[in-house]
Amino acid sequence: MQGTSAIEAAKGFSETKQKILMAASEVFAENGFRYGTIREIAEKAGANVAGVNYYFSSKEELYFFVVRYWLEMTFHDFPYAELADQGLPARERFLFFIRATVSRVFDPTRPAAYAMLFIREATIEQTEVFDELIRETVAPNTALLRSIINELTEGRLDDAGLDFYAANTIGQCLFFHINRKIIHSTFNIDLDREGAAEELAARISAYALGAVTSIL
């Protein structure tokens, strides 16, 4: 599947293959690659093991496709052109980047459980598949953010500094999404209510912008 859009490929899937994709997404999100089994995926999809193996030659291939699919679903409509528009001030593009990231991370049409795919990969399993997909799918976002921060800080940061502030900015968006239940119970901040994502984006923007511009 390397080099092929998973979203476009999935549009041509048969009904059975679509069910297998969704079932595999749930199983891998719940159990990870190591403990998610083809048998469990088959049962959840209403298929048999032979049927799963017919559409996907191995568990590795299926897992690769599932992770690629949900990464692409998160970033396929990311506003790269607007964020790269040199006609807009760097400050506006920086704030726009945060709003765009938060809106996608908290997208209600994207099943929240699938975030566990990325949490498991980042903290537990760390397969080579994920590293490759991150380079292909997420790297353009981080490179764009680094260039915006570089412009915003008038080139005063070295590569390590740019990496740190880019990671910090994206990390805040992911932190609130991953830990929203703990945040709700500890601080009584309900990030699942209507309008919460927009409010969160504004608060992260104010915090991150203050941190970045403090070095000027």
Angle of helix 139-152 versus helix 159-178 axis, rounded to 10: 120
Domain-by-domain residue ranges, the chain?
6-64, 77-213
Cα dihedral sign, 185-191-195-199: positive
Angle subtended at Cα 67 by Cα 132 and Cα 168, rounded to the nearest 5 degrees: 70
Answer whether residue 135 shows pLDDT above 80. no
CA atoms within 13 A on the CB side of 19: 13
Q: Which fold has domain 6-64?
A: Arc Repressor Mutant, subunit A (1.10.10)
Q: 150 pLDDT band (50/70/90 cuts)?
A: very high
**125 vs 127: CA distance, rounded Å:** 6
Task: Return the CA Rg of the chain.
Answer: 19
Residue type, 42: A
pLDDT at residue 86 in the model:
86
pLDDT at residue 113 in the model:
63
pLDDT at residue 79 in the model:
86
**207 vs 21: CA distance, rounded Å:** 39
Angle subtended at Cα 210 by Cα 180 and Cα 99, rounded to the nearest 5 degrees: 50
pLDDT in tens, 75-125: 788 888 888 898 999 999 999 999 999 998 888 777 666 667 777 776 666
This prediction's pTM? 0.80
Both structure tokens of 126: 């760390």
pLDDT at residue 60 in the model:
92
Both structure tokens of 32: 């990870």
**110 vs 22: CA distance, rounded Å:** 12
Average pLDDT, the chain: 89
Looking at domain 77-213, which of 1.10.10.10, 1.10.357.10, 3.40.50.2000, 2.102.10.10 is its CATH number? 1.10.357.10
Cα 79 from chain centroid? Answer: 15
Q: 1 pLDDT band (50/70/90 cuts)?
A: very low
pLDDT in tens, 8-39: 999 999 999 999 999 999 999 888 888 999 99
